[in-house]
Structure 1
């Protein structure tokens, strides 16, 4: 069921990796290489993808190249939201992809691209159509973020949350479907571009939207989906049952799973953005998830997963 395995999410963004603890990305590179090698050991046929960078940064790519990360992946990815957060025009998308493509022989995915309806729903519809026009043919995988609006009672995964002002609240309006389940005008626009465009949809632990997501994706003709298997969630009660249920539900799609989020008790600091105390712990999680979910059978084995440690050495 795993079509590709992505290592972390936005590693050069302080909302997803603590740059104060790892300013030169040395610890990230060591963690990424360990995870990539564990993924390859568990299932050699699944492509490994370096998690989408945000911002798009040539220097970050050069750093990962020097530290051996790009020798252990089959693709790398970029994220972009030029109508909401980035300091460049939506029309620059081809140039942004070309800038990274020029640095490496690896394919460059666009694993998150989106437009919020914070200001107006018409802006999202136009932005989706323009994004498709600019990126189709430029990247082998283009994933729209996202299917659903983020419920207002939840928190967006950012460092400073409400202190970010309108930048924070835009996170809640990036879906093609509103929180109440009704479609936005952009949904019809998106349907015109599947399966060339896929979706990135993060499912929170025991997410009530999972079954509705499957129904919507079938209707829309979605083939490619990116989601996450959270390392931090793996230590929640009933985590295995939730992971099994989620992967069962998504079995008909080509799923890119993203391995990220450090468990608090395994981090250098007690936060999901922290580098782990031991890179081997992250590698163990990647290996276990690949063994459990990478088989292309469409059926999850519901045998108990091997016991795992709950404290770092």
Structure 2
């Protein structure tokens, strides 16, 4: 997957790239680089949030859809979106009207910020609405985000409770204990996958693998961070993580700009040289696919 939520300011600075021209050229170049390394891989346009068919039209006009094999959407109607959960089929249909590409749902989830019963309902209703309707469906996520870690979002405390919902999206609490919805998850695997981001040298990795196997998960989405690749011993960590995940059908998301490579020093910034992102994608594909 080429980036994460490119139409969301939390992940791509559209003020620096207002028409997504840089993003489009970057994805085309990276898509070609990945294909050159392994032509059998499915290349997925970064999952969009909000679900905006016009963004897909823009990518089509810029020739991006010729460089990918599928598109993806993210939806959180019980937490952030301004639409209701029962509207999922219409949201998928709206994207299907503007592209013939398969449409993945690479992130869908419900927080327990208000009550665990809300997540329990949301899991069941999401499965009813989407299983069998999308080639890939990834529940976000296995673990709550540790409260000591920052959420990857532009929202901050002053903007109200929506920011805090990021920390309660897991089926497991921060301490690894199960929430109510976890007991139902095996009703929907292996068709229902999980999206779990692992931070650099994440201490939860081995425990997460054990839980994923216990839950019958086969399809896993995670990320390899271009920014993390600049850290000392980055390849040691990447190798360790990818070995641990080798038994799963893994969708790897290539994302996050290194500070030194951006138009401004931030992971959301468009890179100054899109060729550097394409080379990172090629290197990771060569190493792990």
TM-score, normalised by the number of residues in structure 2: 0.99
1:230 is matched with 225
Residues 27-84 of structure 1 deviation map (CA, whole Å, 9 limit, x = unaligned): 1101111111111011111100001000000110000000011011110000000000
2:246 to 251, 258, 264: 251
Shift of 1:102: 1.7
Q: Provide the rounded CA distance (Å) in 2 between the counterparts of 1:157 and 1:227.
A: 14
2:145 to 150, 157, 168: 150
Q: Provide the rounded CA distance (Å) in 2 between the counterparts of 1:62 and 1:268.
A: 26
2:40 is matched with 45
- What SS class does the counterpart of residue 132 from structure 1 fall into? helix
2:84 to 75, 89, 111: 89
Residues 129-180 of structure 1 deviation map (CA, whole Å, 9 limit, x = unaligned): 0000000121010000000000010000001322332111000000000111
2:20 is matched with 25
2:164 is matched with 169
Q: Mind listing any 5+ residue stretches in structure 1 that lack a counterpart?
A: 1-5, 295-313
Q: Mind listing any 5+ residue stretches in structure 2 that lack a counterpart?
A: none
- What SS class does the counterpart of residue 289 from structure 1 fall into? helix
1:72 to 67, 73, 79: 67
- What SS class does the counterpart of residue 52 from structure 1 fall into? coil
Note the 1:1-313 alignment, pairs <5 A: 6-294=1-289
Q: Provide the rounded CA distance (Å) in 1 between the counterparts of 2:156 and 2:228.
A: 21
TM-score, normalised by the number of residues in structure 1: 0.92
Shift of 1:292: 0.1
Q: Provide the rounded CA distance (Å) in 2 between the counterparts of 1:85 and 1:25.
A: 23
Shift >6 Å, 4+ stretches: none
Q: Which stretch has the larger CA shift, 96-105 or 58-67? A: 96-105
State the Cα RMSD in Å.
0.6
How many residues are matched? 289
